[in-house]
Chains A and B, each alone.
Chain A
Amino acid sequence: MNARAVTSDVLLGILPIALLVALWQALASFGYAPATLLPPPGLVFTRLIQQLASSGYQQEIAATLFRLFAGFLIAVVVGVAIGLAAATSPAVNAVVRPIVRVLAPLPKVALYPALLLLLGFGHASKITLVVADALFPILLSTYYGASMVEQKLIWSAMAAGTPRRQILFKVVLPAAVPSILTGCRIGLVISCIVVFLAEMITSTDGLGHVLVTAARTFQAVDMFVPLITISLLGLILNALLQAVRSYLLRGFPEV
């Protein structure tokens, strides 16, 4: 694809987004939607900038980010460990597989009331919910990545005298990295979404709580701002992980 085609694709892609913003602006400025229901985009974005600069709002973001990263990191460690173990040991596989099969399609958010009862209303219940939701995509993609490792690679490493224990870390894990990182990207975006929803359901701080507070007082502008913030966070974190991925996988063919 030449440079010209790429630019025209980008322009074409911006079009629907621009149209939506234009429609939003038109609805607001021609008076079809009162500002209490749909505040004009300009107002929302000035409020967003204003909020991002205020220390109170920054603390809400910090609370959300703390829960998000704590949950995501635990999910990565546990998911990769179980995924690798299930892919390399038939005994572990026999136990993990049916359990994952049962737990993966279970709506984790339904566990949230139970987590509240067991772990209280603080960080722990929200972090656990994030772990529960982000775990399975990471676990499954680690498992599939590690079980797809070519047997020839393992044989060559064994022929070259690599001890059995080291094969896991020197051959299987590196070969599964592309798949693991894909799982991590899905898991990261899920973590963003879940932490926000958990904060909306019950919380005293965090971005989700900001939205709920605004909804109770019918402040439409303040409802849009945290929603846009968490979506931007998701996009930024996703892009960062993509950058990490292309750095780690330089030389690998793009999949």
Chain B
Amino acid sequence: MMTARTQLSRTAPLLACLGLLAIWQVAALILDTDSFPTALQAIRAIPSILGDKESLINILASLRRMAIGFGVAILLSIPLGLMMGRSRIVAAFFNPLLMVTYPVPKAALMPIIMLWLGVGDVAKMLVIFLGVSLPVIFHSFQGARAVEEKMLWSGAAMGLSAAQRMVRIVLPAALPEILAGCRTGLVLALITMITSEMIARQSGAGNILFNALDMGQYDTVFAMIIIVGAMGIGFDAAFERLRSRLVRWSEPRFDMPLGFA
């Protein structure tokens, strides 16, 4: 009984994918316009994109920028969030600034940053960095704030220094919340990457989408959408596996990320 259930819950997302593709196929057959290829046509166009050397290099370059932007953002945001959670002064210092910058569309900074830093990789990575930072800081902050005082007192009584308490008590205790933030951040990194490339129209995966749109290669447009969508779902699923290994002792509050742009 139990195994049948877990089996079902494993295959359910896959079934959902197939169902959505089937709906797409039917809708495209009914509408029957050139600008809306069927799901099968789009899937058939995928190998030609991934086989094309230039597109592949573009996509890989996008992913490299995304990985660097995401990595740097996490390395800086987690310590900042943890410090905000444990020190009222640090929290009071940064909170209003973060609140004010929260509704700023980060990918929209692309034209301004390009004006300053040129069209190179740095501008694109900076935008991804900005997009990822806020949720990771926020979740680390929440996680560190919820750490039980008693554990910290015990740590202090056992002679741990403030820095040691941070690494050995606060960090592990806040880890589930931190990883929830990283999960949102990972989806956001991909969204920011695609959006900023769509706006800048220089190179990368987002640019392939719009170039194909301009040239009327509708199969490529939809194939690219499948590729980007698969990246989002794949990254999220991979991160979820990593997360559940790292914090097996804690049940996630939300088993899906509240992804946002």
Enumerate chain A interface residues (CB-CB to B < 8 A): 8-10, 12-17, 20, 37-38, 94, 97-114, 116-118, 133, 136-137, 140-141, 144, 183, 186, 189-190, 192-194, 196-197, 200-201, 208, 211-212, 215, 218, 220, 223-224, 227, 230-231, 233-235, 238
Contact = CB atoms under 8 A, between A and B. Distances in A.
Contacts of B232: 105-107, 110
A42 B213 CA distance: 41
B35 A208 contact: no
A212 B115 CA distance: 13
B115 A197 contact: no
B108 interface: yes
B191 interface: yes
Interface of B: 12-13, 15-17, 19-20, 35-36, 88-89, 92-97, 100-105, 107-109, 111-112, 115-116, 187, 190-191, 194-195, 198-199, 206, 209-210, 212-213, 218, 221-222, 224-225, 228-229, 231-233, 235-236, 253-254, 256-261
A97 B20 CA distance: 13
Contacts of B194: 107, 109-110
A16 B199 contact: no
Contacts of A193: 103, 105, 108, 260-261
B16 A201 contact: no
Q: Helix, strand, loop or mixed for chain A's interface?
A: helix
A117 B112 contact: no
B116 A37 contact: yes
Given A114-B225, A117-B221, A190-B260, A107 B213 contact: no
A14 B194 CA distance: 34
A220 B209 CA distance: 28
B261 A99 contact: no
Contacts of B96: 10, 13-14, 16-17
B103 A197 contact: no
Contacts of A189: 102-103, 260
A37 B108 CA distance: 16
